Structure 1
Amino acid sequence: MNATLSLAGILAEQAWRRPDHIALVEGDQRIGFAELWRQARSQAAALIDLGVRPGERVALLCPNTAEFPRAYYAILAAGAVVVPVHLLLTAPEAEYVLRDTGARLLLCHERFAEVGRAAAAGAGIDCLDPNDLATEPIPTFVSRSPLDPAVVFYTSGTTGSPKGAELSHLNLVMSATVNAFDANEVGPSDIALGALPLFHVFGQTVSMNSTWRAGARLVLQPRFDAAEAIRLMVAEGVNTFHGVPTMYLGLIEAAGRAAELPVLRLCVSGAASLPQPVLERFERLFGASILEGYGLSETSPTATVNQPRLGTKPGTVGHPVWGVEAEIADPFVRDRITLLPTGESGEVVVRGHNLFNGYLDRPDDTAAVVVDGWFRTGDLGVKDAEGFLTLVDRIKDVIIRGGFNVYPSEVESVLLAHPGIARVAVIGVPDDTYGEEICAVVVPSGPVSAAEVIDYGRAHLARHKYPRRVEFRTELPLGPSHKVLKRELRRQLS
């Protein structure tokens, strides 16, 4: 059967082309492509023996250890669909995912056995440790149609219940291929740090699948810690780092305490807007440029990224990747897509090979966001004359103060230039006079008062943009993908 029809073909091909090349490093483990593929096929055979059939869904609750990719590719090799489960979910939340997908069983790392067993019991399915799956490898694996579902990612559920975004084999193989060979030019000599959670679409596609699509090495960090990440990158000769802005902030803060810094060739940022001061500080300390990109679970995830061969522009998320279109549409016209001229801000819409199959068993929700073949992202952006896309903010995060729109990401970028501010999140809180007032939630890096923050904002921002309220925290609430949970801050402060 043709390996290229399945996402599992990414690992199968490298097992054939580079059997002895080290694919995976985790702790003391160093596993070659052929051996990793043998292990995955062995688990696939065990899944088939357990009755798992093509197209059935198998959930996976596992941290960034060798068990994750082994079980991930085993599920795919068996012809089944992977349902990654967020590690921070409670048992009832995980049970919801299992029930919503109709998962056949749950593969759960021993570290999360308590949550996994409770969730599986509630859903009426078996919970198994992937290390207990072992049998003789099957001589081949179950091939799938390119449009068949491969992975179901659950959205964060900021409004309503979380929804499962169904991505096809074609979506994910193409995304891995384009990221590896068109956007970033990855090669077998590259070594990437797998610090992004693999249950998340960014870590799974860009760190794991794209790295192995190019035959490169992946060094796993089970849980991100900035100081340990620097030590690990130096020790393993890592030259590639994929992260979100909070991770880059952590590396900046840890760099001053490190005995040695890694020599990085490729750094990619996504999942949230990267403030300009963070980019500039990182590049000064590490001597490496950050290529900021943009995407969502529904777009597999990469839609745009700064690509050196197309030109890069700090502060933007670059150009669409090969085979993908990203344009600006009127956000107020919902029943059709009305594209806006260059230079006008509006909703970012995306179409191409990366567009998901739809939300699992939710045709109405799918129809609300896929219009005329375009996916409505819910993000505000603008394209310049050179085709660079700049994100303004999430539509739902825009603050309307006295009738004027205020974009939190712009305010955050300005405040982060203050030497006394390490991290900041800007949100809108209810106000009797202006409808919403601007509140800056600050993690200080040194002595700084609320009055100083307000005065700094007043000096560098328009009158309707600077914060009138400042709250201090020792840390900001982060989700499983290290994004700041602004909805949690709004809940606390409203």
Structure 2
Amino acid sequence: MTDFAARLQPAETFWGVVAGRADTTPDGVLLIGDDGTKVTFAEYRDRSERIAASLAEQGITPGSRVAWQLPTRIGSALLIAALARIGAVQAPVIPLFGERETVAALRTSRVDFVLVPQDWPGLAYDSLQQLREDRQGSPEIIALPRDLPESGEVQSLAPPPESPEEVRWIYFTSGTSGTPKGVQHTDSSILAAARGFVLNGRLGELPDEVGSIPFPITHVGGVVYLSSMLLSGFASVLIEVFRPDTATEIFRRHRVTLSGGSTVFYTMLVAQQREAEPGTRVLPDLRLLKGGGAPCPPAVFAAVRSELGIPVAHDYGMTECPMIGVASPLDSDDVLAESDGRPVPGVEVRIMENGVPVSPGAEGDVEVRGVTVCRGYTDPALDADAFTADGWYRTGDRGRIRSSGCIEVTGRLKDVIIRKGENISPLEIESLLSQHQAIDEVAVIGLPDIDRGERVCAVLTVASGQQAPSLADIADFLSKAGIMKQKIPEQVEVVSSMPRSGVGKLAKPALRQQLLTKMETSTS
């Protein structure tokens, strides 16, 4: 074990790590709000336990299934630990979800309680009321103030959970159907992901490390990042509403050394740096950009290195396996620009083609197994397709293992678009647009986008006697259907006919290639 690894908290449960870190560095800062509020490790433990006592008084007990849909703020980070202290099963729902996605997530996770903030609209949906009627009054909705209620009756709490292998976390991801799938994790799998993130990525190795969470803390990356802070003992700034200009000012004020998210965050910083006065660094203390969730083209790495003077150490993971590969800032620029990190400790990666391992360096289907892999879905029927007979998880990605030992993701088998780190189902959007009176046939595909990773493009043929709908028409139609705005196409292409396969099936790969060729021609 290295000296750095020996510094990490050894506890096996999330609450055990919270308590252990509070004992080790009680006065160290853990959380920094965007208003400057700070919470130390000891305060985090103590306040979380008092919040747990208050939640227990409202009926939340060990094993309760609790969904919560809060923004990225200190109260949300405290709530994570409070529910862990109780031993509840928590199911965070990202605030970006619209009514359709939120209610579907609550159905699949069979929650008993839904926690929403008083100062945010939350779940004021007729569909939720119908869900409560269908389940005889469950889930119970609890609106929380910004400063979460605390109770001094902590002695009445049941002992903290001891088993790291019980399912305690449910996170949601969209598959090809668009309906959120509930992914089940344990303290063991979440902490293994966090340890791999810290060890491979060297997070908190230097004493002045200050990270940031500018993305939804309800994403699986939120609890992994928070766990990493607790394991390694560094602070992070939480950004409730992300706006590029205000976020960079906050990062500068708190001397953030480590930041990131999806690729769009990298390009935003590059754009800001290009607008700055010559010789002035937008974030003078920043040492590293680290993120994942969407492809990071080598051109983006080069732009960050050129403009900001720092590397991007881009990682590879997904809701089902939060950390597969984590890049090291110690690697060369060539390695970092062309790959997505090395497998984290306890995770194996194999590259297969038609059920057979490929030769070294060859491309194939990426399959993984090990300590960070989820414990299946809330719907067990999904497990058979997700896992091989010998227990490997099918990522749906294509890739290779480079000579450096790093993973390079080259594409995806799945027809899911990844826009700014969020999975978007084409089928869901297609199903809705097929109801538009002016559309005869529609295909939704992802096209490369330097800011978003991929952008959503709707390709359509026009129904007889109708005028082609504009991009604004499409956006208005889908908004009224209740889906989140991130799924609304950013590009609409009208064609006379769709390419077909030999059996008459719409050939999306051919369609996508047609558009890519058109894009290349228009820019040449």
Give TM-score scaled by structure 2 length.
0.74
Q: Distance in 2 between matches of 1:108 and 1:440?
A: 45
Question: Is 1:454 paired with 2:477?
Answer: no
Larger CA deviation: 178-187 vs 379-388 = 178-187
* Secondary structure class of the residue paired with 1:386: coil
Of residues 134, 137, 144 in structure 1, which corresponds to 2:150?
A: 134
User: Which amino acid is 1:55 matched to?
Assistant: G
Aligned to 1:60: 68
Q: Conserved in 2, the CA contact under 8 Å of 1:90 and 1:115?
A: no
User: Which amino acid is 1:98 matched to?
Assistant: L
Change (3 A) 1:134 1:432: closer
Measure how far apart 1:393 and its partner are. Answer: 1.3
Q: Distance in 2 between matches of 1:441 and 1:112?
A: 40
Change (3 A) 1:111 1:257: farther
Name which structure has the greater RCO, CA cutoff 8 Å, separation 6+: 2
* Secondary structure class of the residue paired with 1:158: coil
Change (3 A) 1:288 1:309: closer
* Secondary structure class of the residue paired with 1:69: helix
Q: Distance in 2 between matches of 1:422 and 1:376?
A: 25
Aligned to 1:194: 213
Q: Distance in 2 between matches of 1:291 and 1:62?
A: 29
Aligned to 2:479: none
Question: Is 1:14 paired with 2:21?
Answer: yes
Question: Is 1:290 paired with 2:343?
Answer: no
Aligned to 1:438: 512
1:17-38 deviation per Cα after TM superposition (whole angstroms, max 9, x unaligned): 1212111111131111111221
Q: Conserved in 1, the CA contact under 8 Å of 2:51 and 2:79?
A: yes
Aligned to 1:323: 346
Measure how far apart 1:185 and its partner are. Answer: 4.0
Aligned to 2:383: 366
Measure how far apart 1:151 and its partner are. Answer: 1.1
Q: Distance in 2 between matches of 1:90 and 1:145?
A: 35
Q: Conserved in 2, the CA contact under 8 Å of 1:108 and 1:128?
A: yes
Larger CA deviation: 58-67 vs 187-196 = 187-196
Q: Conserved in 2, the CA contact under 8 Å of 1:61 and 1:107?
A: yes
Question: Is 1:339 paired with 2:362?
Answer: no
1:233-253 deviation per Cα after TM superposition (whole angstroms, max 9, x unaligned): 111000001211111112222
Gaps of 5+ in 1: 400-407, 443-449, 458-494
Q: Conserved in 2, the CA contact under 8 Å of 1:347 and 1:378?
A: yes
Measure how far apart 1:117 and its partner are. Answer: 6.9
Q: Distance in 1 between matches of 2:416 and 2:109?
A: 33
Question: Is 1:305 paired with 2:326?
Answer: yes
Aligned to 2:421: none
Larger CA deviation: 212-221 vs 87-96 = 87-96
Measure how far apart 1:133 and its partner are. Answer: 3.1
Of residues 414, 425, 446 in structure 2, which corresponds to 1:396?
A: 414
Q: Distance in 1 between matches of 2:102 and 2:455?
A: 28
Q: Distance in 2 between matches of 1:133 and 1:441?
A: 54
Larger CA deviation: 162-171 vs 89-98 = 89-98
1:384-430 deviation per Cα after TM superposition (whole angstroms, max 9, x unaligned): 2332221111213499xxxxxxxx99x848xx6xxxx9987486958
1:137-158 deviation per Cα after TM superposition (whole angstroms, max 9, x unaligned): 5257422311111210011233
Measure how far apart 1:7 and its partner are. Answer: 1.3
* Secondary structure class of the residue paired with 2:11: helix
Gaps of 5+ in 2: 1-8, 133-137, 418-444, 461-496, 501-506
Measure how far apart 1:205 and its partner are. Answer: 1.0
Aligned to 1:35: 43
Change (3 A) 1:3 1:76: farther
Q: Conserved in 1, the CA contact under 8 Å of 2:210 and 2:235?
A: yes
Of residues 229, 234, 248 in structure 1, which corresponds to 2:266?
A: 248
1:73-121 deviation per Cα after TM superposition (whole angstroms, max 9, x unaligned): 1111100011001202233432222232221211112243442575654
Measure how far apart 1:324 and its partner are. Answer: 0.9
User: Which amino acid is 1:126 matched to?
Assistant: E
1:95-134 equivalences under 5 Å are 95-115=103-123, 121=129, 122-123=131-132, 124-131=138-145, 133-134=149-150
Q: Conserved in 1, the CA contact under 8 Å of 2:362 and 2:400?
A: yes
Q: Distance in 1 between matches of 2:178 and 2:95?
A: 20
Q: Distance in 2 between matches of 1:323 and 1:392?
A: 23
Measure how far apart 1:203 and its partner are. Answer: 3.1
1:140-219 equivalences under 5 Å are 141-159=159-177, 161-187=179-205, 188-206=207-225, 208-219=226-237
Q: Distance in 1 between matches of 2:384 and 2:455?
A: 32
Measure how far apart 1:359 and its partner are. Answer: 0.2
Question: Is 1:267 paired with 2:289?
Answer: yes
* Secondary structure class of the residue paired with 2:337: coil
- Cα root mean square deviation, aligned: 3.0
Q: Conserved in 1, the CA contact under 8 Å of 2:15 and 2:160?
A: no
Q: Conserved in 1, the CA contact under 8 Å of 2:176 and 2:416?
A: no
Q: Conserved in 2, the CA contact under 8 Å of 1:269 and 1:293?
A: yes
Larger CA deviation: 162-171 vs 113-122 = 113-122
User: Which amino acid is 2:28 matched to?
Assistant: H
1:309-348 deviation per Cα after TM superposition (whole angstroms, max 9, x unaligned): 5664412112111111112112x44xxxx32221221111
Q: Distance in 2 between matches of 1:440 and 1:275?
A: 21
Q: Distance in 2 between matches of 1:293 and 1:137?
A: 42
Change (3 A) 1:288 1:153: same
Paired residues, number: 426
Measure how far apart 1:223 and its partner are. Answer: 2.1
Q: Distance in 1 between matches of 2:179 and 2:236?
A: 34
Aligned to 2:58: 50
User: Which amino acid is 1:274 matched to?
Assistant: C
User: Which amino acid is 1:314 matched to?
Assistant: A
* Secondary structure class of the residue paired with 1:229: helix
Q: Distance in 2 between matches of 1:136 and 1:89?
A: 35
Q: Distance in 2 between matches of 1:92 and 1:425?
A: 21
Moved over 6 A (4+): 421-424, 439-442
Q: Conserved in 1, the CA contact under 8 Å of 2:311 and 2:329?
A: no
User: Which amino acid is 1:276 matched to?
Assistant: P
Change (3 A) 1:376 1:75: same
Measure how far apart 1:184 and its partner are. Answer: 2.1
Q: Distance in 2 between matches of 1:110 and 1:57?
A: 21
